[in-house]
Structure 1
């Protein structure tokens, strides 16, 4: 069965915070492709993310696709998670005592972007690069869109977000959190319900 190509038509709309609040404590529903898609070209230009060799890690990588995306804040909320320093993490397996090097496990990655136009364009580039198969050492689990301002997104940005997030397996909407802006301590207990649901769902994904 041929998988739907999200780069040609608009895919499933972004899940709202209200829908996330009622979600069961299970891995979130898959709303986009879970693996690279045939026929997706590698984006051209100098704005692609760099790559960085990393030691094998069985936790989660937060990949901010542009500066100020919010990945450092999110990493403080999830155990067994690290920031990827704005680069695709490429796991390298240590050589075994026998001299044989086993293929490294895939790096589990969440793309992180702000919801302004620059952030969404950067997210689309990163999602397209992954979808093209150009980063085979990475397993993109989904995308976290972090609100860039209080209130509802303008229509043009909402439409753009629907297209961008249609190219990844899952999406989490992170609302504006004033205390994060003010530099107050980041805790799960004081975070919005949508954030708490995301953390629970990611724990379920990592436990699979």
Structure 2
């Protein structure tokens, strides 16, 4: 039986008359919750005075040619700040996922969905809030935000627990990656066989939603079935 949350945290950018709903597949939740749902689309919030993300020039200027890419990826991972863990998250997700570094300058294409990554420290959560306001205002409509991965910066969040819960309601989906000693000790992502059960569930959930949000992937799958 599913337990009700105590004192659920409201999405600060969600209009009172709008209620969040699943945008794709239902959440895969267990006793250690890792997936949270927020607003499924921008809600018309006021634009922030200092936007966090700047769209690449090729996306806003007809004079700049878009990058030439070998294939459209399944998912693009973007860090909101240095040390967010974008490279680690992209490595955990595996094939078809590209690490675009910090910001949108190295974004490959507007066609593939974007997964944001931030740490749970004060700076990271502040950037999540400001980026959330930028997205909710419609300032990022040129790209497709799948959701956010919040990477714990300590084994115990302490005073950051409540702000992290609030940040988990801003984007369509937020996955909470708890402190993993394996990730701290090794220079690269661990082998899939060494992933914790929580990390395996997060990986499965992110990839499933990315496939549903990627029409080009569905087209390839349909072509493969018909051949």
TM range (shorter): 0.7 to 0.9
Q: Secondary structure at the match of 1:167?
A: coil
Q: Quote the Cα distance in structure 2 between the aligned partners of 1:138 and 1:158.
A: 29
Partner of 2:149: 144
In the TM superposition, what whole-angstrom CA distance separates every residue of 1:145-178 from its partner, at most 9, and x where no partner exists? 111012x211x31211222221111111112122
Question: 5+ unaligned residues in a row in structure 2: which ranges?
Answer: 1-9, 21-28, 59-66, 213-227
1:176 is the counterpart of 2:190: no
Q: CA deviation at 1:206?
A: 2.7
Looking at secondary structure, tell me which structure has more helix per residue. Answer: 2
Q: How many residues align?
A: 179
Q: Quote the Cα distance in structure 1 between the aligned partners of 2:124 and 2:198.
A: 20
Q: Secondary structure at the match of 2:149?
A: strand
Q: Return the match for 1:132 from 119, 122, 137.
A: 137
TM-score by length of 1: 0.73
Looking at secondary structure, tell me which structure has more strand per residue. Answer: 1
Partner of 1:51: 55
Partner of 2:32: 18
Question: 5+ unaligned residues in a row in structure 1: which ranges?
Answer: 21-27, 93-103
Q: Secondary structure at the match of 1:67?
A: coil
The RMSD of aligned alpha carbons is: 2.9
Q: CA deviation at 1:185?
A: 4.1
Q: Quote the Cα distance in structure 2 between the aligned partners of 1:184 and 1:17.
A: 30
Partner of 1:99: none
